[in-house]
Structure 1
Amino acid sequence: MSELRQLIGTRIRAMRNAKGLTQQKLADIAGLDYRYIGALERGERNFSIDTLEKVLLALDVSINELTIVTGDDQDSVRQSAIDEFILNTSKLNNEHMKVIQKINSEIFRLI
């Protein structure tokens, strides 16, 4: 089994779970079979760029967000926080995002 395929599958599963989606719901949104999503998440299936694009669109994430790979427990906690942030901000408009950006900057200025 390809290590890259396994890493991508693991990230897809993590992002699906972070968004509260079942494999069936993700499959429905992406226009794929839920068994295919399961095999994709387990790294068992080769997939085309077109299929990956369908999954990313269904998850509403970019390729950049998908390819962040964790290496240790600290990275895992960091990645989980990033995934949660992406989920919580995914539907905000630009004005709200600017407010969050200011709050974030202020927090890190104080740390």
Structure 2
Amino acid sequence: MSELRQLIGTRIRAMRNAKGLTQQKLADIAGLDYRYIGALERGERNFSIDTLEKVLIALNVSISELMYLEDLRDSEETTNDRQKAIDEFIAATSNLTKEQIQIIQRINHELFGIF
């Protein structure tokens, strides 16, 4: 099994979960079969770029958001927690306007100024 295919499948599952979607719902939005989504998430399917594009559109994420990788110097637990927080943030902000995102950025800067 391809390590890259496994990584992409794992990230698709994480993004789907962060958005609160079932495999069936993601499949419906993407125009794919739910069994295909399951196989994709497990890294069992050798998918095309067109299929990946359908999934990204259905998740409303970019390829860079999907492929975001953490620094390997962190512990696995820290990396997983950080990745989950990032995925939830991407899911929560995916439908916001530019102005709303700018407000969140200002709040974020203020919060990190406290630390």
Taking structure 2 as the reference length, the TM-score comes to: 0.91
Deviations 1:19-55 (A, max 9, x none): 1111111111101111111100010010010100000
- Give, as a single letter, the amino acid of the residue that structure 2 aligns with 1:15: M
Q: 1:87 maps to what in 2?
A: 91
Per-residue deviation, 1:110: 2.2
SS in 2 for 1:44: coil
| Equivalent pairs, count | 111
Q: Which moved more, 1:70-79 or 1:51-60?
A: 70-79
CA distance in 1, matches of 2:45, 2:112: 42
Cα displacement (A) at 1:5:
0.6
Q: Matches of 2:16 and 2:35 in 1, distance apart?
A: 15
Match of 2:48 in 1: 48
For residues 68 and 97 of structure 1, the distance between their equivalents in structure 2, rounded to whole angstroms, comes to: 19
In structure 2, which of residues 107, 110, 114 is the aligned counterpart of residue 110 of structure 1? 114
Which residue does the alignment assign to 2:11? Answer: 11
2:20 maps to 1:20: yes
Quick one: percent identity of the two aligned structures? 73
RMSD, matched Cα: 1.1
Structure 1's unaligned 5+ residue stretches are none
Matches of 1:63 and 1:32 in 2, distance apart?
Answer: 19
Tell me if structure 2 keeps the 8 A contact 1:7–1:69.
no
Alpha-carbon separation, structure 1, partners of 2:79 and 2:55: 24
**Which AA in structure 2 matches 1:35?**
R
Q: Distance in 2 between the 1:52 and 1:19 partners?
A: 17
